[in-house]
Structure formats: C-alpha cells, structure tokens
Amino acid sequence: MIPTEHYLALSFILFTIGVIGVLTRRNVIIILMSIELILNAVNINLVAFSRHLGGVDGQIFAIFIITDAAAEAAVGLGIIIAFFRNRATVLADEMDLLKW
C-alpha cells in the first residue's frame, strides 16, 4: 500500500507545474490547458483521501470537478474564439483593452 503522502506530493508537483504554466505562457489556449492540469491535480488529492478514509465523497467531488472543468473549457474556448475574431490574437499580453 502506497502511503497517501506520495499522492499528495504528486498532486502538489502537478499543481505547481500548472501554476508556472499559467504565469509564464503567452498563449491563452496553453493557459487554459494549465488550468485543466491544476483541476486534475486537485482530483488526485481528493481520490487519494477518498481511498485513505474509505469514504465515497471524495470521488463524488472529483466527478463534480470534472463537470466544472468541462463547462469551463467550453465557455473559455468560446471566449477565445470571440476574441480571436475581433482582435486576431491569442496572446495574453496583447489582450489589453481594459488596461489604461
């Protein structure tokens, strides 16, 4: 039996990689994909604790987070398509309409 701490360490490593991806990349699509990676890391955490405590609630939560990720991806990609149609760019630092 692998200790639960190892799953938590894996989850934290994936979370940190996702955070670095969100903060460093310029392409908005890759930023969205990094957010998916972060949500995935959280799911590993939940499922590991669900196994550890013998309760099913962690897996239920993970299913709801996957639902959320699907909704977020659909809306986010719709926003990207709308923005690309108006400004012809997918780079995050060129999206400065609200900057002064």
Partner 1 sequence: MTLNLVFFYFFSALAVVSAILMITRRNVVHSAIFLVTALLATAGIYLQLRAELLFAVQIILYVGGIMVLFLFVIMLVNLDVAVRQAAFSRQTWLAILLAAAMTGQVALAVWTGRASVTLPPVQAGALDPNTEIVGLALFRNHMLPFEIASILLLVAMIGAVVMSKKKI
71 or 97: CB nearest partner 1 = 71
- Quote the tokens at residue 99: 């900057």
- β-pair partners for 91: 27
Does residue 36 contact residue 65 with C-beta atoms inside 8 Å?
no
C-alpha to C-alpha distance for 18 and 10, rounded to whole angstroms: 12
86 or 100: CB nearest partner 1 = 86
Count of chain residues binding partner 1 (CB under 8 A): 68
88 or 98: CB nearest partner 1 = 88
99 phi and psi angles, rounded to 5 deg: -85, 150
Judged by CB under 8 A, the residue of 56, 96, 97, 98 near partner 1 is 56
Q: What is the DSSP letter of 90?
A: -
State yes or no: residue 29 binds partner 1 (CB under 8 A). yes
Q: Which of 85, 79, 66, 71 is nearest to 29 (CA)?
A: 79
Interacting residues toward partner 1 by CB under 8 A: 1-2, 4, 6-7, 10, 12-14, 16-21, 23-27, 29-30, 32-34, 36-37, 40, 43-44, 47-48, 50-57, 59-60, 62-64, 66-75, 77-82, 84-85, 88, 90-93
